[in-house]
């Protein structure tokens, strides 16, 4: 197929090509499709979309904040999808924050793919609904940087009061990193801690496991079910503070067992939840 992806290019950021549209771009190319990515700050700008859209079989829109005035890259100059007759898929990632009903209706979106399964009923306009949660990018995470394990426990990401409680209790090292530096730092840690907010599929869980590092994250039944109740991933979840405390002490002192669990979980993830797998599933839903 000839596929056009619409997303923003994060100019000047080390993770510019790690954004949602780009991981699908690489995965779809790996599957043999002819793919073009365009949008704000891309080599092909958003203003070109109405001129070139007719050349494609399908459009995948992964940009979720086209009108954001707080975005340092500013709002898109063009966002009139209702003019485009090519079949369109919108990947609605942030349905817990944004009501997309108006956009889906006015943009004449044919398919809406949801990252959060529990939010599918929030869209009440006519469209075909698909459950499409986050995956893992082989291009970005299936790399071993051969880093030494210099940290016991780390956390990479935004810190809120609840996370900070654990960070202080266990002397967890914290970082704000992106792109290759993000993966390298995870691989330097024996354990990567996570305390997710959503009860659905959390991207950081996939990223930690995909990096090959042992994860300890709060129990999430939706996440575990989607991971086929994989035993290795189940072992990386804690149900309460007592279990977290036990697992930290145990896995910091049992290196071989910890690394074997991490290796098996990573293999499972790439075999079943890569963006190649997500892309195959998505295209299979198009009527």
Rounded Cα distance, 231 and 47, in Å? 48
* Terminal Cα-to-Cα distance of the chain (whole angstroms): 14
> CA 175, 179, 8, 58 torsion: positive or negative?
negative
Rounded Cα distance, 242 and 111, in Å? 44
Task: Look up residue 252 and give its two tokens.
Answer: 């910091």
- pLDDT tens-place values along the chain, 287 residues long: 999 999 999 999 999 999 999 999 999 999 999 999 999 999 999 999 999 999 999 999 999 999 998 888 899 999 999 999 999 999 999 998 899 999 999 999 999 999 988 899 999 999 999 999 999 999 999 999 999 999 999 999 999 999 999 999 999 999 999 999 999 999 999 999 999 876 667 899 999 999 999 999 999 998 999 999 999 999 999 999 999 999 999 999 999 999 999 999 999 999 999 999 999 999 999 97
pTM recorded for the entire structure:
0.93
CA-based max dimension of the chain: 60
CATH topology of domain 2-132: Rossmann fold (3.40.50)
Could you read off the pLDDT of 93-102 as tens digits, one per residue? 999 889 999 9
CATH architecture of 139-272: 3-Layer(aba) Sandwich (3.40)
Same topology between domain 2-132 and domain 139-272: yes
DSSP bridge partners of 215:
192
Domain boundaries, the chain: 2-132, 139-272
Could you read off the pLDDT of 154-182 as tens digits, one per residue? 999 999 999 999 999 999 999 999 999 99
Residue 185: Cβ-neighbour burial (10 angstroms; 0-12, 13-18, 19+): buried
Query: In whole numbers, what is the pLDDT of the chain averaged over residues?
Result: 96
What is the model's pLDDT at position 197? 77
């Amino acid at each position: 197929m000839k596929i056009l992806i619409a997303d923003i290019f994060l100019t000047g950021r080390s993770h510019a090509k790690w954004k949602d549209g780009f991981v699908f771009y690489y995965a779809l190319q790996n599957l043999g499709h002819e793919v073009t990515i365009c949008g704000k700050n891309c080599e092909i700008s958003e203003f070109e979309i109405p001129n070139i859209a007719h050349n494609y079989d399908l459009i995948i829109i992964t940009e979720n904040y086209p009108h954001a005035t707080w975005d340092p890259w500013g709002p898109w100059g063009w966002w009139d999808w209702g003019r485009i007759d090519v079949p369109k898929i919108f990947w609605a990632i942030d349905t817990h924050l944004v009501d997309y009903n108006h956009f889906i209706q006015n943009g004449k979106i044919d398919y809406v793919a949801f990252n959060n399964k529990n939010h599918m009923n929030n869209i009440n306009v006519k469209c075909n609904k698909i459950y499409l949660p986050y995956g893992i990018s082989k291009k970005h995470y299936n790399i071993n940087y051969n880093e030494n394990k210099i940290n016991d426990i780390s956390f990479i990401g935004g810190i809120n009061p609840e996370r900070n409680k654990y960070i202080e209790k266990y002397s967890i090292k914290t970082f704000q990193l992106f792109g290759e530096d993000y993966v390298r730092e995870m691989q330097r840690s024996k354990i990567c801690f996570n305390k997710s907010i959503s009860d659905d599929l959390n991207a950081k869980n996939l990223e930690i496991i995909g990096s090959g590092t042992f994860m300890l994250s709060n129990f999430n039944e939706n996440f575990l079910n989607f991971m086929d109740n994989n035993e290795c991933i189940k072992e990386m979840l804690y149900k309460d503070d007592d279990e977290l405390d036990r697992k930290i002490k145990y896995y910091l002192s049992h290196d071989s067992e910890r690394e074997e669990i991490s290796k098996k979980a990573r293999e499972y993830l790439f075999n079943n939840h890569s963006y190649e797998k997500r892309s195959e599933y998505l295209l299979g839903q198009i009527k």
